[in-house]
Amino acid sequence: MTVQIRNLDAKPAKITDEELAALGAGLRGEVALKGEPGYDEARTLWNATVNRKPGIVVRARGSADVQAAVNLAQEKRLLISVRSGGHQIAGHAVADGALLLDLSQMRSVRVDPMTRTAWVEPGATLGDVDKETAAHGLALPMGINSTTGIAGLTLGGGFGWLTRKYGMTIDNLISADVVTADGKRLRASENDHPDLFWAIRGGGGNFGIVTAFEFRLHQVGPEVLAGLIVYPYAEAGRLLREYRRITADAPDDLTIWTVFRKAPPLPFLPAEWHGREVFVIAACYAGDPAKGEAALAPLRRLGEPIADVIGPSPLAGWQAAFDPLLAPGARNYWKSHDFLDLPDALIDILAGALSSSPSPNCEIFVAHVGGAMARVRPEATAYPQRASHFIMNIHTRWDKAKQDDECRRWARSIFDKTAPHATGTAYVNFMPEDEPDRITGVYGDNMQRLSEVKAKYDASNLFRLNHNIQPAREMAAAE
């Protein structure tokens, strides 16, 4: 008996029972085929629009398992995908007929409170990291949804409530253990393979598979001042102009984001507002609480809100506050832009965009970043957009497959209308699968160097199921 699997030329390849048995015998984890335990669990992602069936699943439990899977893929020229948290919107973690390397069982988080550092395995979620770091009064700047995987978030950059104060997740990465395309296990840091270390800080999973991250942690809390102020959506235009003014002078301790959506049935919202369009200000102050009240005061003088629920909160709790709105199992499609400013013409587009929303769970999110993140040089890491700026994510979310076209059209329409005001860069973790032509613009002046590092560590482009950066020779040929 043989198993059919795809190779790098998109042609069928065969793996014999003997080869599968040899692979499985050398693993701490296990091999799973269709119909076997673990297969469906490994291939099921956060985004329900992704429903693909890999040829073989390797469920790794350590670096040696990762090396074994990579060696097999390289020897047989197999198409290989890598899944950690399974949260990426593009769904690159799973491909039909490919070898799926599943890292979701590698979830260890080890905190050293004396050195304020943590070692984190790639299958860990942000919630896993928060639980371990919070026990010591420490925190890592990360994203805003606790079910997100740490690996994908970090490799794409990583931003959230602590970014303005302590930088992006990649700015707090000290080192990483990486299995490269030749099956070698390398340490990447400022001193060891610094070119690889530079590339994995924003360049995604193009250069190897990270089996452990070493992070720098920061003392935060024990509580932050955080929460929401909710207004009628009719106020969006006026409030966005005020938001633009307030964020221009905000201290690094203060992060303010906005969300436009139909109000979910949250207990602090009056019942008559459930399902109606609202404009939401989400804020987090991660410094001295007394100074925080003063810093937040301008937000609380903007008018008469439907609700104001900003108050003291454990950081880990605030990090999970949006989890109910981002639960797995729904169908999702995102489109994203970076803006250096919010000009009036852009505000007018955003202030009218929600009226045509095709689903009650669709939203437009605008995050302001800067502070410590903006004090890093654009060429210092692969992630290039270091100016203080706004990141927009058009988050389209729905339940039924029959709505796929309508919901995607809505997101693309807003994306197109707002494009004239965008920088051309983007946060790769917010990019859907259908944007391969954006990659060069996303990385800008860093693109050539990225392609050269790719050629050094993955000349055959084994790791291609991602927002792909082609090796230098391939990129030149394509041009």
In a domain, 133, yes or no: yes
Measured CA to CA, the distance from residue 104 to residue 84 in angstroms comes to: 5
Nearest alpha carbon to residue 366 among 387, 386, 340: 340
pTM of full prediction above 0.75 = yes
Residue 389 pLDDT > 80: yes
pLDDT, average across residues 152-169: 98
pLDDT at 2 over 90: no
pLDDT in tens, 296-344: 999 999 999 999 999 999 999 999 999 998 999 999 999 999 999 999 9
For residue 191, give every residue at least 6 positions away whose Cβ sits within 8 Å of its Cβ, in sequence order, or none.
none
Q: What is the pLDDT of residue 222?
A: 85
- Give whole-number Cα distances, 48 to 5, 142, 286, 332, in Å: 23, 24, 34, 7
CB 107 within 8 A of CB 128: yes
- Of 102, 136, 154, the last residue of a domain is 102
**In this model, does residue 64 exceed pLDDT 90?**
yes
Burial class (CB in 10 A: 0-12, 13-18, 19+), 279: buried
Q: What is the pLDDT of residue 420?
A: 98
Is 467 part of a structural domain of the chain? no
pLDDT on residue 221: 84
- Whether 215 is covered by a domain: the verdict is yes
In a shared domain, residues 282 and 383: yes
Domains of the chain: total: 3
My answer on whether 73 and 131 are in the same domain is no
Residues 21-62: pLDDT tens digits?
Answer: 999 999 999 999 999 999 999 999 999 999 999 999 999 999
Q: Based on the domain organization, do 143 and 189 belong to the same domain?
A: yes
Same domain, 88 and 115: no
In a domain, 470, yes or no: no
CATH of the domain at 130: 3.30.465.10
Which amino acid appears at position 420 of this protein? P
Q: How far is CA 117 from CA 14, 58, 164, 174, 380, in A?
A: 44, 30, 20, 9, 22
End-of-domain residue from the set 163, 196, 219 = 219
- Catalogue the E-assigned strands of 94-243: 99-102, 109-112, 117-120, 138-139, 173-179, 185-189, 209-216, 218-219, 223-232
Residues 6+ apart with CB under 8 A from 59: 29, 30, 31, 32, 38, 42, 102, 104, 105
Residues 404, 413 contacting (CB under 8 angstroms): no
Place of tokens 């609480």: 289
72, 102, 132 — which closes off a domain? 102
**How confident is the model over 106-145, as pLDDT tens digits?**
999 999 999 999 999 999 999 999 999 999 999 999 999 9
**299/406 same-domain check:** yes
Q: Could you give the 3-state DSSP secondary structure of residue 454?
A: helix
Domain encompassing residue 37: 2-102
Compute the radius of gyration of the chain from its Cα atoms: 22
Please report, rounded to a whole number, the percentage of residues in the chain having pLDDT higher than 70.
99
Segment (H or E) for 194? helix 194-200
Residue 443, token pair as written in the block: 């990385």
Residue 58 lies in a domain: yes
Whether 478 has a pLDDT exceeding 90, the answer reads no
Q: What distance in Å separates the CA atoms of residue 170 and residue 447, rounded to the nearest whole number?
A: 18
195 with 239, same domain: the answer is no
Instruction: Give the model confidence (pLDDT) of 399-438 as tens digits.
Output: 999 999 999 999 999 999 999 999 999 999 999 999 999 9
Residue 477 belongs to some domain of the structure: no
For residue 316, give the CATH number of its domain.
Answer: 3.40.462.20
d(CA 420, CA 286): 34
User: What pLDDT shows up at residue 476?
Assistant: 54
Same domain, yes or no: 117 and 87 = no
Q: What is the CATH number of the domain that holds 94?
A: 3.30.43.10
26 and 115 fall within a common domain = no
The residues pairing with 280 across neighbouring beta strands, listed in sequence order, are: 230, 259
Residues 237 and 145 in one domain: no
Helix, strand, or coil (residue 78): strand
Quickly count: other Cβ atoms within 10 Å of residue 285's Cβ. Answer: 24
Whether residues 113 and 75 fall in one domain = no
What is the strand order of the sheet 80-83 is part of?
Answer: 30-32, 56-59, 99-102, 80-83
pLDDT-derived band at 272, boundaries 50, 70, 90: very high
Tell me the two tokens of residue 343. Answer: 């000009």
Q: What's residue 473's pLDDT?
A: 77
444: in domain: no
C-alpha distances (whole Å) from 226 to each of 102, 170, 309, 366 are 35, 24, 8, 17
- How do residues 336-368 score in pLDDT, each as one tens digit? 999 999 999 999 999 999 988 999 999 999 999
Return the number of other C-beta atoms located less than 10 Å from residue 202's C-beta: 27
Residue 354: inside a domain? yes
Q: How far apart are CA 166 and CA 50, in angstroms?
A: 34
Give the Cα separation of 219 and 214 in Å (integer).
17
- Among candidate residues 368, 364, 412, the one with its CA nearest the CA of residue 388: 368
Q: What is the pLDDT of residue 1?
A: 58
**Is the domain of 287 the same as that of 413?**
yes
The verdict on 415 and 359 lying in the same domain is yes
Q: What is the mean pLDDT of the chain?
A: 96
Separation of alpha carbons 134 and 218, rounded Å: 10
